[in-house]
Amino acid sequence: MTVTATIEETIAAAPRRARFERATATLSEGRWIIPAFLVFWFLLVIVPLLMLFAYSFFETRSFMTVYTPTLNTWVGLFESGRFEVTLRTLRIALTVTAIELAIGYPFALWLAKGGASKSTKAVVLALLTIPFFLDMSSRTIIWRAILGQNGLVNTVLTGTGLTDAPVEWMLYTEWSVHFGMVVTYFPTMVLPIFLAINIIDDSLIEASNDLGASPLQTLTGVILPLSLPGVLAGIVFTLGPALAAWVEPSMLGGGFVNLLSNSVESAYTALRYPVVAALSTFIILLLAALLLAMLLVARRFGDLSSTFKVLKG
Amino acid sequence: MSAMRSDTAAARPPAASRWGWSPHWRAAGKWGGVLMLGAIYFPLFWLALMSVSERPLSGIPLPFSLEHYAALFRDTAWVEPFAASLVIGALVGIVCAVVATLVGRAMPQTRRPGRLLVLFVLPLFVPGMSMGAALFIFTRSFLELKLGFWSIFLGHFVWAFPFALLIILVLTTRFDHRLVEAAADLGASSWRIFWDIEFPLLKPAIVGAGLFGFLLSFNEVLRTLFLRGTEETMPVWNWVMAASQQSQVPIIFALATLVLLVTMPLLAGVFWLLFARLDRS
């Protein structure tokens, strides 16, 4: 009698105790992990970025950093031909981004809604993601052996008699820098656009067709506005690295194509840290300004609340 | 171009143009991207081929020779940077997997996961060079610490963590919490719930996060340049050799090929794990 009663009591108490334990467990776990990590992340990411900005208001005199606030570094930033470098960087970065968008958007559209099978999708997505994990310098330097004067392309061209002399403009020119960057930053453009198009409900597209919209109207009226957040994300992820591109211009530019990143590096080697800070801040501000402009333009075309839907999804 | 192509397709019955674009346009989109993928992967193939060529910078791979591999193993200058990259990569991978699991499990239960996510993936938006410079100025000039492996590690962690977190979140946001509640109702301790239920379900993402962390760190060069102090990692060594001495290039080809031979199967494995798991759930 008493034994069964105890057992019954224990059984009845078990869920209650478990629920209590679970409550304390989630409280104790969930409560300290996120705040602790937030503090750590703040120190590791936000504070250095703020410090970078603050440091650009100091200056260097005879290899020593003078810690008095001044605008000298910012004023001097665009002297000695750096204005030209800035324009060149902007031009190359924007051209590369535009080319990526022109090739990447149709590709993402095909991949998401063009009838590709599930396994094709998986393979292409994997192929697009793998380059993130490969060594940039060896991936880029091999282009020298392909595009160079005695490289693969020229060997084929002269061997087949298409050209008499090796083509020289393929390496160590702005062309090769553009080319190298377009190849490198393709995945960063396609992946966000694909994710945005992929979550568009097929029934929306069908409804548009059923209501008599032409394919072009469906594209511009349904697919394009709904995929706008993905396009914006793709542009950010491509434009950012392109503005700060360093491996491609130094390896494929052969010293003829100087971009902002080369200025950052030479200031770093010359121990002029405030200049490093100002240039790095400038790159971030440039990116932010271009982003803001795009957001304002995008607002006229699409519903931005869908941006947040993508962020949550 | 799309306008003209789509207009011709508009005349077709709706079924043929179901996705709102013509077959031509579809083919153009497909082959443009396939061409780009070719441009990404052909150099890797060429790199491997030229690493066994006698004249790696020429246009013809023949005649073949293993001379550069022999030179690679005679030369020991690359061993130290290579080992350093391995150790830092392994550390970054393990720490990323553990921290991303802890944070990724707790995040869906917080009040504003969206805002936290934006904050945690912020380093993805900052160009690598700027982030490297920011960490450099903060640690070296402001805190006046001596840079070395620890600063490379921190820089790589900031770079790899957002990726690791995103992978973990893919599974934790789909996680069925009724499983945990059922286990708790049946009297399992919180450690047992994690180990017997959550961990097996999250394992592909945790392994993926660790491997991604390792590989991202192993091949990182932009941030390392600022944060290395006097230390060298393999990508930096590759970079310095390629930039200064043309004669070292064949050795880099051989080394990069060996790294690729290890990296590619690892990556293929991760993707297989992730996609197979996502398919089942």
pLDDT tens for each residue of B64-117: 878 888 888 888 888 888 899 999 999 999 999 999 999 988 888 777 888 888
Contact call for B106 and A145, based on CB within 8 A: no
User: According to the model, what pLDDT value does residue A18 have?
Assistant: 61
Q: Are A152 and A145 in contact (CB under 8 A)?
A: yes
Contact call for B118 and A311, based on CB within 8 A: yes
User: According to the model, what pLDDT value does residue B10 have?
Assistant: 42
Span A1-10, mean pLDDT? Answer: 54
Contact call for B129 and A244, based on CB within 8 A: yes
- Four-point Cα dihedral A30, B180, B166, A105, nearest 10: -140
User: According to the model, what pLDDT value does residue B201 have?
Assistant: 84
Residues of B in Cβ contact (< 8 Å) with A120 = none
Contact call for A113 and B19, based on CB within 8 A: yes
Span B146-169, mean pLDDT? Answer: 90
3 state DSSP class of B203: helix
Span A271-283, mean pLDDT? Answer: 87
Type of residue found at A32: W
User: According to the model, what pLDDT value does residue B190 have?
Assistant: 81
Whose CA is closest to B50, among A143, A108, A156? A143
User: According to the model, what pLDDT value does residue A4 have?
Assistant: 54
Span B166-184, mean pLDDT? Answer: 82
Residues of A in Cβ contact (< 8 Å) with B125 = 236-237, 240, 287
Of the pLDDT bands very low, low, confident and very high (cuts 50, 70, 90), residue A30 is low
Whose CA is closest to B5, among A224, B20, B31? B20
User: According to the model, what pLDDT value does residue B179 have?
Assistant: 84
Given a cut of 60, is residue B119 above it in pLDDT? yes
Q: Give the rounded distance of the alpha carbon of B252 from its chain centre.
A: 21
Residue A202 and residue A190: Cα distance in Å, rounded? 20
Given a cut of 60, is residue A12 above it in pLDDT? no
Q: Give the rounded distance of the alpha carbon of B90 from its chain centre.
A: 13
Q: Are B213 and B92 in contact (CB under 8 A)?
A: yes
This model of the complex carries an ipTM of 0.78
Span A49-72, mean pLDDT? Answer: 80
Type of residue found at A193: I
Residues of A in Cβ contact (< 8 Å) with B107 = 34
A18 to chain B, closest Cα gap in Å? 5
Residues of A in Cβ contact (< 8 Å) with B13 = none
User: According to the model, what pLDDT value does residue A24 have?
Assistant: 55
Which of A67, A120, A216 to mutate to test binding with chain B, by most B CBs within 10 Å of its CB?
Answer: A216
B240 to chain A, closest Cα gap in Å? 10
> Given CB atoms, is A65 within the 8 Å cutoff of chain B?
yes
* Contact map slice: A 144-183 vs B, CB within 8 A: 144-146, 148, 150-156, 182-183
pLDDT digits (tens, 9 = 90+) for A180-209: 999 999 998 998 899 888 888 888 888 888
Q: What is the pTM of this model?
A: 0.79
Of the pLDDT bands very low, low, confident and very high (cuts 50, 70, 90), residue A310 is very low
User: According to the model, what pLDDT value does residue A158 have?
Assistant: 83
Question: What are the residues facing A60 on neighbouring strands?
Answer: A65
> Given CB atoms, is A241 within the 8 Å cutoff of chain B?
yes
A2 to chain B, closest Cα gap in Å? 23
Contact call for A145 and B50, based on CB within 8 A: yes
Element (H, E) at B192: helix B190-193
Contact call for A277 and B106, based on CB within 8 A: no
Whose CA is closest to A236, among A192, A178, A182? A192
Residues of A in Cβ contact (< 8 Å) with B168 = none
pLDDT digits (tens, 9 = 90+) for B133-153: 999 989 887 788 888 889 999
Span A82-100, mean pLDDT? Answer: 91
Contact call for B127 and A287, based on CB within 8 A: yes
A79 against A182, higher pLDDT: A182
Contact call for A210 and B212, based on CB within 8 A: no
Of the pLDDT bands very low, low, confident and very high (cuts 50, 70, 90), residue B23 is low
Average pLDDT of the residues of chain A = 81
3 state DSSP class of B53: strand
Span A91-110, mean pLDDT? Answer: 94
Average pLDDT of the residues of chain B = 81
Q: Are B47 and B259 in contact (CB under 8 A)?
A: no
Of the pLDDT bands very low, low, confident and very high (cuts 50, 70, 90), residue A236 is confident
Which of A11, A19, A138, A262 to mutate to test binding with chain B, by most B CBs within 10 Å of its CB?
Answer: A138
Of the pLDDT bands very low, low, confident and very high (cuts 50, 70, 90), residue A312 is very low
Which of A280, A307, A311, A312 to mutate to test binding with chain B, by most B CBs within 10 Å of its CB?
Answer: A280
Residues of A in Cβ contact (< 8 Å) with B120 = 41
Residues of B in Cβ contact (< 8 Å) with A243 = 127
Question: What are the residues facing A66 on neighbouring strands?
Answer: A59
Closest Cβ–Cβ partner in A127, A142, A247 for B47: A142
Burial environment of residue B250 by CB neighbours within 10 A (0 to 12, 13 to 18, 19 or more): buried
Given a cut of 70, is residue A238 above it in pLDDT? yes
Work out the percent of chain B whose per-residue pLDDT is above 90.
Answer: 19
Q: Give the rounded distance of the alpha carbon of B159 from its chain centre.
A: 10
Q: Are B200 and B55 in contact (CB under 8 A)?
A: no
Contact call for B264 and A29, based on CB within 8 A: no
